[in-house]
Structure 1
């Protein structure tokens, strides 16, 4: 179980994170989403005891990370795949970690096999690893202590499609055995494929928190016009809020009738007009974070510092 309760982090007069609360239960994968500078990394660092919150509290299995006697046996963490000594081999990195955690040395070979670092890879210095290999090593280190909880920040960076598919299966299996996974990623389609629960943060605050089914039920209207610029203008004049999608359509906070009437009044030819039910995680993300985009710049500079 992961619990964040009213987490706030301020740097001077600027708030990187403001009153963030959410929970991740056993047997679930929670996708933690938000645009750059939204406060994701700062929140994860507070959860893992690397950044002291200005106010609020974060716990893992009911205890603050810093108060866990042997935290690596409770929660496996991957916040930066590059945070390995470049002169040590992958096997050496894991062997040292195993000694710190007090796990048997055989566990090193087990996790190397589990993440696909076999053959000559474990004997190579990590400075010679590709980003994808470093991600696999970081996941292996997170799993080394056989924890109940995983906290992973962008673990799919550098992985090829086969590696991403492998990671999805690994996380799903971990959760299905009763584990708790908190996953931050920019790969929305992969999050949608594996997550049970979604927490979306924008401008340092939680803008959505719920099951994937609830949040992806969606609302509003998806519309596409022959003249996109004219359509946007017509909807703006009608007082309808819009969010552009990645494929050139518009997601509108309004009914299909209202959108159709606005387009007709402006003489705009429509190519597509339908309810946006089940439009997918990308549309949800754009809708929730677009409204707060003007606020994100307040958190962006301090978020970079916090990294």
Structure 2
């Protein structure tokens, strides 16, 4: 289990993560979503003990990551696929990790095979790996110690469609066998296909979390009018969060509130319906409307 309680991280006057709390239960895949600069990577680094929090705490299996006696045997982490020794072969990189964790050497070949790196790839220097191959090697590192928990930041980055499909099956099988997965990704359709729960962060704060099906069922309201500018103004005056959708305006409010705001302003609507059918992409746009997408530079 991963338990995040009121995590906060400040860099001077800038608050990168603000009072973030959520839990990831065994047997589930939790999708951790947000625009660039929202605080996802910082939160994951704090969970893994790489960045000290300004406030709050995070535990894995009931203990802070830094207090785990042999963390690789309990938590598999992939935060940066490029953070690997470029001069070693794939097999050498895993062999060093296996020796460090006290894992039997035969696990190296088995794990390389599991992530789809064949004998030829295993003998190649990491500097010659494509991004997709580095992702597979990084995932092999995460799985090598047979952990109960996986914490993965953009693990499908650089994979081709076949590789993305393969990774989806791998993570689903890991969770179905009782494992816990925290998965951050910009590939929203893939997250929607594999996740059980969602945590959405925007501007450093949690804007929504819960069961995936429940969140997608309450994805807001889609509304259109002949006078789109007048409708947008009416919604803003009513204090309803609005973003541009492909088929109209997406409003993070129920249809009754949206219809009342339009009626009060005398705006005639041409369409008013629940927006839940748009899936995770539409929910994401609705929840993160107005959140800064600029990368923080420190």
TM-score between both structures, scaled by the size of structure 1: 0.89
Kindly indicate whether residue 203 of structure 2 is the aligned counterpart of residue 203 of structure 1: yes
RMSD (Å) for aligned C-alpha atoms: 2.2
Q: What's the secondary structure of 1:120's corresponding residue?
A: helix
Cα distance in 2 between the residues matched to 1:105 and 1:178: 25
In the alignment, what sits opposite 1:288?
287
Cα distance in 2 between the residues matched to 1:278 and 1:169: 24
Cα distance in 1 between the residues matched to 2:40 and 2:262: 40
2:231 to 224, 229, 234: 234
Q: Are the aligned partners of 2:222 and 2:275 in contact in 1 as well (CA < 8 Å)?
A: yes
In the alignment, what sits opposite 1:38?
38
In the alignment, what sits opposite 1:10?
10
Q: Are the aligned partners of 2:132 and 2:157 in contact in 1 as well (CA < 8 Å)?
A: yes
Q: What's the secondary structure of 1:49's corresponding residue?
A: coil
Deviation at 1:289, TM superposition (A): 1.1
In the alignment, what sits opposite 1:126?
126
In the alignment, what sits opposite 1:20?
20
Deviation at 1:119, TM superposition (A): 3.6
Deviation at 1:259, TM superposition (A): 7.9
Deviation at 1:11, TM superposition (A): 1.2
Q: Are the aligned partners of 1:40 and 1:201 in contact in 2 as well (CA < 8 Å)?
A: yes
List runs of 5+ in structure 1 lacking aligned partners: none
List runs of 5+ in structure 2 lacking aligned partners: none
Cα distance in 2 between the residues matched to 1:118 and 1:232: 57
In the alignment, what sits opposite 1:149?
149
Deviation at 1:277, TM superposition (A): 3.1
Q: Are the aligned partners of 1:15 and 1:204 in contact in 2 as well (CA < 8 Å)?
A: yes
Cα distance in 2 between the residues matched to 1:106 and 1:267: 69
Deviation at 1:130, TM superposition (A): 0.6
Cα distance in 1 between the residues matched to 2:46 and 2:17: 10
Corresponding pairs, count? 293
> CA 1:97/1:255 → structure 2, altered by over 3 Å: closer, same or farther?
same
TM-score between both structures, scaled by the size of structure 2: 0.91
In the alignment, what sits opposite 1:258?
259
> CA 1:220/1:144 → structure 2, altered by over 3 Å: closer, same or farther?
closer
Q: Are the aligned partners of 1:218 and 1:279 in contact in 2 as well (CA < 8 Å)?
A: no
Deviation at 1:234, TM superposition (A): 2.6
Cα distance in 2 between the residues matched to 1:255 and 1:69: 52
Q: What's the secondary structure of 1:85's corresponding residue?
A: coil
In the alignment, what sits opposite 2:67?
67
